[in-house]
Amino acid sequence: MPIFHSRDLTTWNQIGNVLDRPSQLRLRTAPSSGGIYAPTLRHHDGLYMLITTNVSDRGHFIVSAEDPAGPWSDPIVVDGLPSVDPDLAWDEDGTCWCTYATFGAEAGTIMQVPIDPLRGEILDAPRPLWSGTGLAAPEAPHLYRIDGTWYLLIAEGGTARGHAVSVARAPKATGPFEGCPANPVLSHRSTGSTIQNTGHGDLVQAPDGSWHMLLLGVRPRGVTPGFHVLGRETFLRAAMALGPAPAPARLLPGRPAELAAPARRRRVARRPVAFDWYECTGTAG
């Protein structure tokens, strides 16, 4: 699992690997489409922590390091959560919340549980958090505390052409969560964009205070259903704004997302929010 570093969100250099030895990663019994799913990287109390899921072995586990270049610790397994897409967030009192998506026959709900990330212990019973807007397969939750408000970002609509990003807010990490009226806040579904299947977003704040979204997408070729030899790629979009929204960003293959005037192309989710807690705009790339 490579880890990259950037000072401008445009030029990236690999500085190490998080999972680089058999004691961290057991894949001997992993079938096709098995193994590692959806890592989340966070920094807390001087430690970089990465939580992910080995769906072919021990499930959720956490590794940590003082330096993101490594060395990274052996895994701390979080037992008892049959699920995917785990996220870590810390409350004001130090509580570590693991938010995750139900999987398989139980899919359809974003769940949350307090854990001890240094021991892998579950501290209370898991509880449902939000089920999204009604689109299929709510997954990929990420939880953020920003200016006293908690935001829950999820993917929904399935990982194919209907993939989308939606967001909700709450006064506490435990909810209750209220969906943004402009949901989904990002999607390329039903467009002619060269980038499709956009979703599974995570937010990062730059030193200048601007917010950026990392997300997954594909560049399909051929007729429906198409093919994409590069698989799911990582894209960056300067598309999220807390407060007054910036000019929409264009998501183009092979280029960084740049703030720009709206393109003369079909717009996606160009809808004003009904109240002022969140403003979301975007254009198809």
Tokens 């992993």 correspond to what residue?
Answer: 30
Q: What is the CA radius of gyration of the chain?
A: 18
Measure CA of the first residue to CA of the last residue in the chain; give whole Å: 29
In degrees, to the nearest 5, what angle opens at C-alpha 61 toward C-alphas 58 and 65? 145
Whole-structure pTM value: 0.83
Q: Put residue 170 in one of left, alpha, beta given phi > 0 → left and psi -120 to 50 → alpha.
A: beta
Give all domains of the chain, ordered by start, each with its CATH number.
1-131 (2.115.10.20)
Query: Under DSSP, is residue 92 helix (H, G, I), strand (E, B) or coil?
Result: coil
Q: What is the pLDDT of residues 174-228, one digit of tens each?
A: 999 999 998 998 999 999 899 999 999 999 988 888 888 999 999 998 877 788 8
236-245 burial: b if 16+ Cβ within 10 Å, else e: bbbbbebeeb
Q: What is the mean pLDDT of residues 18-25?
A: 92
- Rounded distance, CA 36 to CA 58, Å? 10
CA 50 and chain centroid, separation: 13
Q: What is the pLDDT of residues 239-264, one digit of tens each?
A: 555 543 333 344 444 444 433 333 33
157 neighbors 189 (Cβ within 8 angstroms): yes
Residue by residue, DSSP assigns 23-87 as TT---TT--TT-SEEEEEEEEETTEEEEEEEETTTTEEEEEEESSTTSPPPPPEE-TT--EEEEE
Structure tokens at 140: 């990929």
pLDDT of residue 240: 56
> Is residue 106 pLDDT above 90, yes or no?
no
- Rounded distance, CA 197 to CA 190, Å? 10
Paired residues of 237 in beta bridges: 213
Query: Under DSSP, is residue 106 helix (H, G, I), strand (E, B) or coil?
Result: helix
Q: What is the pLDDT of residues 210-219, one digit of tens each?
A: 888 999 999 9
> Which runs of consecutive H residues, i.e. helices, occur in the chain?
none
pLDDT of residue 187: 92
Rounded alpha-carbon distances, angstroms, from residue 181 to 169, 233, 275: 11, 28, 8
* Long-range interactions of 129-132: CB distance < 8 A, separation 24+: 129/99, 129/174, 129/175, 129/177, 130/154, 130/168, 130/175, 130/177, 130/179, 132/156, 132/166, 132/179
pLDDT of residue 82: 82
pLDDT of residue 242: 54
pLDDT of residue 223: 78
- Rounded distance, CA 215 to CA 35, Å? 20
